[in-house]
Structure 1
C-alpha cells in the first residue's frame, strides 16, 4: 500500500525551472548529440519561466536520456545516474553506507547541491527532535511548493531505505498554506501530522534516530572512498561552464518572461558587476549582449508562435517590445519572414 502511495505521489510531482537552470546552463556549453526526444524536452525546459513547473517523471526521463547520450561518467554522477544502470546513484550509495543517520544526512547535504539548483538543507535539533529543513531562498515558498513536497517525500523514501519501509516522520512542516484537501491528499501518501505556515519547510522525527546504525548492508570501503573523491572532484571541477556569455544566457532565460526590463544594466546588476564590465567580458568572448538577447527572443518566439499559437501582440508584450510592429520587424530580421508568413509556412510543414 505504501509503495503504491509513493508511486502515486511521484507521478503527480513537479520540478521548477529553478532546479533545471544549472543543467540547462551546462548543456548549452557542450556539444551534446541530442536525440529527437531529448531535444524536445530540452527546448521545453529551456523556455520555462523561473516559477513554472515540469512533471518530475519527464525530468527524470530527460536526465536518463542525457546520461545515455553523453556517455559521460562525470555527467552521470552529477545527474545521480549511471550510464549502464539507471537505478544506481553515487549519492545514494554514500547515503546508505554512512555509519549513522546523522552522518548520512551530512553526506547527503554535502553532495546534493551538485545539480540541485539554489537549495539549502540543514539539520536542526530542538527539544530532542530533529528537523531536516529544505530552503530555496530566492523565491516565495508557495512558488516552489512542488519542489519542497517532492524533495521532502524523496528524503523520507531514502530514510525508509535505512530505517525500514514502515518508518514515518513525526510531522511535515511547510512555510505555505495548505487547504484541508491538500492535507487529506498528503496524508494518503504518508499518514502523519502536516503543519502549514511553519517557520521552515522540514520533516521532524525523534533525535534518537540520528544515531541509528541499523544499516545491515556491507559496503566496500575502497569503493565508497572512490565515490566520495569522485564527487568532491565534480563539486570543485571547472567542467561546469564559467563563461560570462553562458551566465548571461542563463539569467536572461530565467527572467525574460517575468520581468519587463531585460537590459544590459539589469543583467549586470544581477551579476553584481557594472554594465561596462559586463560589456568588456562579453567582448572577450566575441559576443555582445544584444546578440544573446536576440537569440533567446528568437527561440522563444518560434516556439510560442508555432507550438502554442500565441497572439503576436501578446508575444510582443511578453518579450518587452513597445508594440507588435517593432516585434514583427525584429522577427523578420531573425528568420527572414514576418511572423504570420512564418507561422503559415511552418504550420503547413508541421501538418
Structure 2
C-alpha cells in the first residue's frame, strides 16, 4: 500500500507541545516556526501534513539535544490526541475491542500507515504497514511508544510487549527503548510489528461505557465518511454536523468553517445537490435519533443532549414530526415488535 501526502489530526501535536512544556521550552515560539497556532491543536478535525509533524519532531530533537524525541513524545499521549478514536477505545469493554476499534478508526488520527492484527500461536501481532515517504524513525517510535503508553493507561496494568520490530536501523543507544518497552527489540526489519501475549486481549478496560461507545461509534463512522473524497457534499456536511451537534454549536457559520468554506459557498454547494443546510441538519438529527432510540441503554435526556436540542420538549416535538409518535411511544412499539 503506497500512501502519499499523508496527514495527521492537528490534535496529535499535543504530545509534542506537552513534552516541550515539561522541558521548559517556549512552545508558542516553537510552533511559530511552522506557522501553527496553539488554537489549531485544539481542533481534532484540522489535518496537517505528516511530513510537517516529522520536521517538527526533528527540530524538537535538535533543540533539546534529544536523540529519542519520538519515544519521549509518545510517552505524553493523552486521550484527546486520538480524538474520537481515543474516546472510543477508552469506552470499550476489553483490549480486544479496543484493538479492533483502533484498526477501524485510525485514519481519523493519521493515514501514514495502516494497522492490522493477527493471532500467531500465543501472541498477537500488530503490524503497522506503510510505504509512505513521510514515515521517519521518530514518527515510528512515537507511534509505538504512544500505543504502549495508552494500553497501560486504559487497562490500568503495566502491560508490555514481548517483541517490537522496527524498520529503521538500530540507534547507537537503545537504553531508552529498553526502559520504555521492557521487551526484545529488533531493527532493520521488513515491517513494524508489536507482539504481545494473546491473554492481554481479554483484559478489562477501566472506563467501559456501552452507551457512550455506541454514540462514539456513530460519530466516528460519520467522520470516516467525511474523510472520503468520493462522498457527496451533503454527506460531508452530515459528518461535520455529527461532530458539531455534540459540541453544541450547529450554526451555519461554524459548519462552514469546519469544512474550510464560507457560509455562502456551503449553501451554494448544497443547493447544487438540491437541498438546504436546514434540511441536512434535520436529516442528520432524524437519522441519529432513530438509531439511538433503538438502544435501550440510552435514556431520552442523553439523546436530547447528543442531538443538540435545547431541552427534551424540543426533541419530543421534532421526533413526533419525524415519526408521528413520541420517543417513548416509538421505543415501546419497538420493544413489542421485538
Please give the TM-score of this superposition, normalised by the length of structure 2: 0.46
Q: TM-score, normalised by structure 1?
A: 0.44
